[in-house]
Chains A and B, each alone.
Chain A
Amino acid sequence: GNSVTQMEGPVTLSEEAFLTINCTYTATGYPSLFWYVQYPGEGLQLLLKATKADDKGSNKGFEATYRKETTSFHLEKGSVQVSDSAVYFCALIPTGDFGNEKLTFGTGTRLTIIP
């Protein structure tokens, strides 16, 4: 079946540090890949996505590249800010499931940035 594995948290970094949150997936074909973010007290929001191999999704300084060969979609940011403190979820929609939109989520990684 489909699954998403992301690095366990919590992750604590100092402001302006480099961030990587690893995400790997198991799925047949070419799933669409997503990173969602959940800020304290808010609902999940789409951060970025990629729908085919070698695509790079980017938003708010975050980037993730769809790597088919390593089945990975690692999230990176060059210089984190306190406002980036949140829980980050990696997710996928299986190939051919357009119109179904059933997301499979990873376990989430809690990120805390200290000034």
Chain B
Amino acid sequence: GAVVSQHPSRVICKSGTSVKIECRSLDFQATTMFWYRQFPKQSLMLMATSNEGSKATYEQGVEKDKFLINHASLTLSTLTVTSAHPEDSSFYICSAPGQGAAGETQYFGPGTRLLVL
């Protein structure tokens, strides 16, 4: 099946620094990718839709300047957490929709755990 990878799997950074998280579709192309944030014991919260070749679409309440998204190619989307603060510590997950008949199925990356000190 389709595989989505994320890098890094976990990162620790100091408050005020920026962190970039990569999401790659390994064996298929994705014009759209989704970024989620997962809080402990809570559901996945959709942050934004990443669109190849155009601006990302952010969900209500998500700061665009805080969470920069770039969909540079059909297989890569990046999420940059700018000027990170401890409250940004979370588990970030990306996904990409399948193609053709699997279009409704989302393929998820393994997630990136961010800890901001």
A interface list, Cβ under 8 A from B: 32, 36, 41-46, 49, 51, 89, 93, 98-99, 101-108
Given contacts A44-B95, A105-B44, 4 further A-B contacts (CB under 8 A): A42-B110, A103-B34, A107-B41, A108-B41
Closest 10 CB pairs of A and B: A43-B108, A44-B108, A43-B110, A101-B97, A107-B43, A105-B43, A105-B44, A46-B105, A43-B109, A32-B104
Q: Which B residues between 1 and 15 are near A, CB-CB below 8 angstroms? A: 4, 6
Question: Are A101 and B44 also in contact (CB < 8 A) when A41-B110, A43-B111, A44-B93 are?
Answer: no
**A98 lies within 8 A of B103 (CB):** yes
B interface list, Cβ under 8 A from A: 4, 6, 32, 34, 41-44, 46, 49, 93, 95, 97, 103-106, 108-111
**A102 lies within 8 A of B104 (CB):** no
**B49 lies within 8 A of A102 (CB):** yes
**B93 lies within 8 A of A101 (CB):** no
Instruction: Provide the main secondary structure of the chain A interface.
Output: loop
Write out the residue numbers on chain A whose beta carbons fall within 8 Å of the beta carbon of B104.
Answer: 32, 49, 51, 93, 98, 101
**A89 lies within 8 A of B44 (CB):** yes
For the complex formed, measure the closest distance between the CB of B32 and the CB atoms of chain A, giving whole angstroms.
Answer: 7
Inter-chain CA distance A61–B93, complex, in Å, is 27
Inter-chain CA distance A93–B104, complex, in Å, is 8
Inter-chain CA distance A103–B42, complex, in Å, is 15
Write out the residue numbers on chain A whose beta carbons fall within 8 Å of the beta carbon of B42.
Answer: 107-108
**B43 lies within 8 A of A46 (CB):** no
Question: Are A102 and B110 also in contact (CB < 8 A) when A32-B104, A43-B4, A43-B93 are?
Answer: no
Inter-chain CA distance A41–B108, complex, in Å, is 12
Of the candidates A41, A43, A49, the one whose C-beta lies within 8 Å of that of B105 is: A49
Inter-chain CA distance A54–B32, complex, in Å, is 30
**A45 lies within 8 A of B103 (CB):** no
Inter-chain CA distance A97–B111, complex, in Å, is 25
Question: Are A102 and B34 also in contact (CB < 8 A) when A43-B110, A44-B108, A93-B104 are?
Answer: yes
**A46 lies within 8 A of B109 (CB):** no
Of the candidates B4, B32, B108, B110, the one whose C-beta lies within 8 Å of that of A101 is: B32
**B103 lies within 8 A of A106 (CB):** no
